Structure 1
Amino acid sequence: MDNISIEKFIAGIPKAELHLHIEGTFEPELMFEIAKRNDKKIPYKSVEELKNAYRFNNLQEFLDIYYAGANVLITVQDFYDLTWAYLTKVHEQNVVHVEIFFDPQTHTDRGISFDTVIKGIYNALEDGKEKLGISYQLIMSFLRHLDEASAFKTLEQALPYRDWISAVGLDSSELGNPPSKFERVFAKAREKGFITVAHAGEEGPAEYIWEALDLLKVTRIDHGNRCLDDNQLVEELAKRQIPLTLCPLSNLELKVVQDLKDHPITKMMDKNLLVTVNSDDPAYFGGYMNENYLGIAEALDLSKRDITELVINSFKASWLPESEKKKMITQIEVYFENNS
């Protein structure tokens, strides 16, 4: 495989990202800048020291540092700057559509208003649409390590911004916090017209994926690596073409896989699963979209056709209008024809 040519191919192809936590795009340089602006202390002396702390053995170790970083975000401007930095970064990587998560409870639990959080994020997304041509959808995630009452309260806080938020999701510590814990709040969210998605089967078992499908009625599974443990589940996901939003570099950093050569994405493609590539928390896991595509392309010897199929899957799995999906898929096929 010609690395240069596959690298250029990945860099140039128009992409959609469907699994991205905006708080997980907080680069150390920006974290220090905002901490200084808000006179907040962070427990690291330098950008380098902070970067060196980004070595994780599991999901919980990562979450501890993720929540610590989020502590410096206080004003509308902070949330705007965080989101804008992400959008400008992915614009350089030819990402043209994003469907991103935000975690209001991470902020409201420390006294920041829901309004402050969403206004900063939304204003940046609107500017990104206008100035960078990046279309978007916004997903509000409930933190699964918190209780159902807290999720219900967050849902209430979201209702005045119903027009800004497309979907609700479920993230944070998976083990011991099954989707069933949030069945009632997801039912309420669907009643209010929200689409539903959930993180399932990253560290948790295949059973959690079943729960997300059957109890939360999700249209997409975030991660879903463990679905391969259950043949009946694989058949169900393939038959219904339920998208899986996979995050290769995140899986490697959090030891969900020990080596990218072990990543299940090609096995999943062979089983006709609708799999997509995403970056999850790129500031912490060593790469945005292009780095994730290149990582698996090199590890699994993917062809340009494989990359094209994965990119098309992301648009198929997105919530763009059908006409926009068709337009993008045609554009991607033309790109493939001209560059293969």
Structure 2
Amino acid sequence: MTITTPAVPLVEKAARAPKSELHIHIEGSLEPELIFALAQRNNVKLAYDSIESLRRAYAFTDLQSFLDIYYAGASVLLTEQDFYDMTMAYCERALADNVVHTEIFFDPQTHTERGVPVATAVAGIDRALADAEQRGLTSKLILCFLRHLSEADALATFEAALPLFESYPRMIGVGLDSSERGHPPSKFGRVFEKARAKGLKLVAHAGEEGPPSYIYEALDLLKVDRVDHGVRSIEDAALVTRLADTRVALTVCPLSNLKLCVFDDMTKHTLKDLLDAGVAVTVNSDDPAYFGGYVNENYTAIIDALKLNDQEVYTILRNGFEASFVSPAERDALIAKLDAYWSGTTR
């Protein structure tokens, strides 16, 4: 009697695959339940009277309407233990989604303006990441500057954080996030030059709501190693060719793009067009507590809406490991783990 192995649906196959996550704002992983728990612990008054009313506020019309809620949620983070609890909650979700390597963004200026030292945030985040590493989740930490604030503020933040880059080996780079419109990457040329001189990895949000010219600025002026989002690069054929030729990865966040009305329908997302053009696109969750899904939900959304095939999903997963800021040996090991899983799973 011949026994045949049933085919595994591609969505399920992707969900079980070892994967990376390269675009996750840790403050954006704060679920409403934890926001209320921390608010109670720290005696912080919220503008919402219940978890349900807070969730109802997650009806965003653009990036700024999201950021208003995002910064309000972050107001409950005051102690090292708060940052630990938030980060560990994300790590639990990542592990459940078979994420084996993550590179986390955090926004120190969101906290220093409330009197919370950068060192407090880093200590709590790093301690949680160290605990998660014991369970198979390796990680890096990237300090992001808020682009709606001045470059002088970013420079001061960078100088204050410099000792932490030496104290916490997991902290390996700087990034640029927050409101894109009206705040081009060129605004932050000096602080990125200082970070580059220190040998740090560089990333920047560009080409989400901002135009393709912002991606050029991120590449040519900031000299970034990766571009966060970058979905509007499809509007410039020369830029797409350049991204494909140089293998500068895009950390795409599909559900975020939909929630923030970058696309009004997932079937209109540019990810597959970019993938077809040879661009190293990756899939990530951005701010999963606010955008309705962690990394596996993002894979499910694009597989269904864009009709991706087995090879396309494998390529995206592999891109995530190839674009990660790990050593060559670690990268090879991660890709080998993916290959062993993918070839051993029928579809």
Q: Tell me which interval the TM-score lies in, with the shorter structure as reference length.
A: over 0.9
Q: Give the counterpart of 1:118 among 115, 118, 122.
A: 122
TM-score with structure 1 setting the length: 0.97
1:222 paired with 2:228, answer yes
Q: How does 1:77-96 map to 2 (within 5 A)?
A: 77-96=81-100
Kindly indicate whether the alpha-carbon contact (under 8 Å) linking 1:22 and 1:83 is maintained by their aligned counterparts in 2.
yes
1:170 paired with 2:176, answer yes
Shift of 1:331: 2.0
Note the residue ranges of structure 2 that are not aligned, 5 or more in a row.
Answer: 1-5
Corresponding residue of 1:58 = 62
SS class of match (1:19): strand
Corresponding residue of 1:335 = 341
AA of the residue aligned to 1:157: A
Identity among equivalent positions (%) equals: 53
AA of the residue aligned to 1:108: T
1:287 paired with 2:290, answer no
Kindly indicate whether the alpha-carbon contact (under 8 Å) linking 2:15 and 2:299 is maintained by their aligned counterparts in 1.
no
1:140 paired with 2:146, answer no
Shift of 1:172: 0.2
Corresponding residue of 1:205 = 211
Cα offsets for 1:173-196 (capped at 9, x unmatched)? 000000000001100111122111
Q: How does 1:96-115 map to 2 (within 5 A)?
A: 96-115=100-119
Corresponding residue of 2:304 = 298
Kindly indicate whether the alpha-carbon contact (under 8 Å) linking 2:229 and 2:253 is maintained by their aligned counterparts in 1.
yes
Aligned CA-pair RMSD:
1.3
Cα offsets for 1:165-221 (capped at 9, x unmatched)? 201000000000000000011001111221111000000000000000010010100
Shift of 1:4: 7.3
Instruction: Between 282-291 and 301-310, report the one with greater CA deviation.
Output: 301-310
Note the residue ranges of structure 1 that are not aligned, 5 or more in a row.
Answer: none
Corresponding residue of 1:319 = 325
Kindly indicate whether the alpha-carbon contact (under 8 Å) linking 1:278 and 1:292 is maintained by their aligned counterparts in 2.
yes
1:232 paired with 2:238, answer yes
- How many Å separate the matches in 2 of 1:211 and 1:149? 19
AA of the residue aligned to 2:29: T
Kindly indicate whether the alpha-carbon contact (under 8 Å) linking 1:222 and 1:246 is maintained by their aligned counterparts in 2.
yes
Superposition misfits of 4+ residues, deviation over 3 angstroms: none
Kindly indicate whether the alpha-carbon contact (under 8 Å) linking 2:32 and 2:51 is maintained by their aligned counterparts in 1.
yes
Kindly indicate whether the alpha-carbon contact (under 8 Å) linking 2:8 and 2:345 is maintained by their aligned counterparts in 1.
no
Kindly indicate whether the alpha-carbon contact (under 8 Å) linking 1:248 and 1:292 is maintained by their aligned counterparts in 2.
yes
- How many Å separate the matches in 2 of 1:279 and 1:124? 19
Cα offsets for 1:264-297 (capped at 9, x unmatched)? 1110011100000000000000000100000000
SS class of match (1:45): coil
Corresponding residue of 2:275 = 269
Corresponding residue of 2:247 = 241
- How many Å separate the matches in 1 of 2:118 and 2:306? 42
AA of the residue aligned to 2:250: L
- How many Å separate the matches in 2 of 1:305 and 1:215? 35
Give the direction of change, closer, same or farther, for the CA distance of 1:133–1:207 in structure 2 (3 Å limit). Answer: same
- How many Å separate the matches in 2 of 1:54 and 1:4? 34
Corresponding residue of 2:187 = 181
Kindly indicate whether the alpha-carbon contact (under 8 Å) linking 1:12 and 1:94 is maintained by their aligned counterparts in 2.
yes
- How many Å separate the matches in 1 of 2:11 and 2:190? 45
- How many Å separate the matches in 2 of 1:211 and 1:71? 32
Kindly indicate whether the alpha-carbon contact (under 8 Å) linking 1:9 and 1:304 is maintained by their aligned counterparts in 2.
no
- How many Å separate the matches in 2 of 1:303 and 1:193? 38
Kindly indicate whether the alpha-carbon contact (under 8 Å) linking 1:3 and 1:298 is maintained by their aligned counterparts in 2.
no
AA of the residue aligned to 1:186: F
- How many Å separate the matches in 2 of 1:152 and 1:327? 37
Corresponding residue of 1:190 = 196
- How many Å separate the matches in 2 of 1:82 and 1:3? 38
SS class of match (1:8): helix
